[in-house]
Amino acid sequence: MQPDINADRATAVNVDAPLSSIPQAAPLKSGGRVPMALWQAALGIAVLLVWQGASGRLVDNFFISNPLDVGARLYRWTMDGTIFQHIGATLYATGMGFVIGSVGGAVLGIWLGVSPFASRLLNPYLNALNALPKVALAPLFVLWFGLGIESKIALAAVLVLFLVFLNTFAGVREVDQDLIDGARLMRATRAQVIIKVIIPSAMSWVFAGLKIAMPYALIGAVLGEMIAANRGLGYLVQFSGSQFDTAGVFAVLFVIALLAVGLNHLVDMVQSRTERWRIVSR
């Protein structure tokens, strides 16, 4: 019924596929084999050494800084506590944006999924909104919500909302009709069908949406901070850049990458707790 929306969902899901399909480090086996974690650490150290060696010799230190400076910067920011204030601001905007966007997207997805009239009515408008690069809304959010954290939350939320919506909607549409018929034959009311059959069944799709959306929440928050803010990692990376402080830029990027990995891990953990039935089948 909604080929356009479904098509978009498919691409959205695929975005995540290559990342999540990277095999995890093999567990240490008894015997003389070197565990993968050691190889991975070795690669990281090698890259850092090459970087350190190249800096100032092959490439100007101004452009790529060097690991020691970056490390020193991270150490200083950690010691005087300034980095935590920025991390806090970014995390707050990311978290709030993620929660608001997820709840909104899931509710919208379920509602449109179970209401053919509404979904057909809104289809062209949702497609237009979805095609719009959401970051272009940033100036509008600054006008509406001011320079404070609210405009960052709004940007993160709107990015998350569409991703979660598309996945939830597709998930609701994918629910096995036999399960719905079965419940209705057992005298389930419409509300019971939605709560006990449709929503649990669509849950894995919702989680797929949440997993894809998590990095986008961070993107939204950081981008909002880069545009207009006086706090947050986005502000800090922007500020460092404008001061030609390459070490500072790298230091912030390192922190953002750590945050992103941590947040993704969090979503994975929540999913594996709530989808025990799916895990036992593996």
Nearer to another protein, 242 or 281 (CB): 281
Q: How far is the CB of 275 from another protein (least distance, A)?
A: 8
Residues that bind another protein in the complex, under the rule CB under 8 A: 176, 178-179, 181-189, 192, 196-197, 200-201, 203, 275-278, 280-281
- Cβ 202 to another protein, closest distance in Å? 11
Give whichever of 111 and 184 is closer to another protein, judged by the CB atom.
184
Query: In this complex, which beta carbon is closest to another protein, that of residue 177 or of residue 242?
Result: 177
In the complex, minimum distance from the CB of residue 277 to another protein, in angstroms, rounded to a whole number: 4
Measured from the CB atom, the residue of 99 and 203 that comes closer to another protein is 203
The nearest distance, CB 118 to another protein, in angstroms, is 22
- Write the DSSP symbol of residue 23: P
**Which of these, 162, 157, 154, lies nearest to 122 by C-alpha position?**
162
For the CB of residue 207, give the shortest distance to another protein in the complex, in Å.
12
- Of 190, 88, 79, 202, the closest CA to residue 149 belongs to 88
Q: Which residues of 107-146 are buried (b: 16+ CB within 10 A; e: fewer)?
A: ebbbbbbbeeeebeebbeebeeebeeebeebbeebbeebe
**How far apart are CB 15 and another protein at their closest, in Å?**
26
Q: Please, are residues 145 and 85 in contact by the beta-carbon 8 Å criterion?
A: no
How far is it, in rounded angstroms, from Cα 167 to Cα 203?
A: 10
Q: Where are the alpha helices (DSSP H) in the chain?
A: 3-20, 36-54, 61-64, 67-80, 82-114, 116-131, 138-145, 149-173, 177-185, 190-192, 199-227, 233-242, 246-274, 276-279
| Residues 81, 247: Cα–Cα separation, whole Å | 18
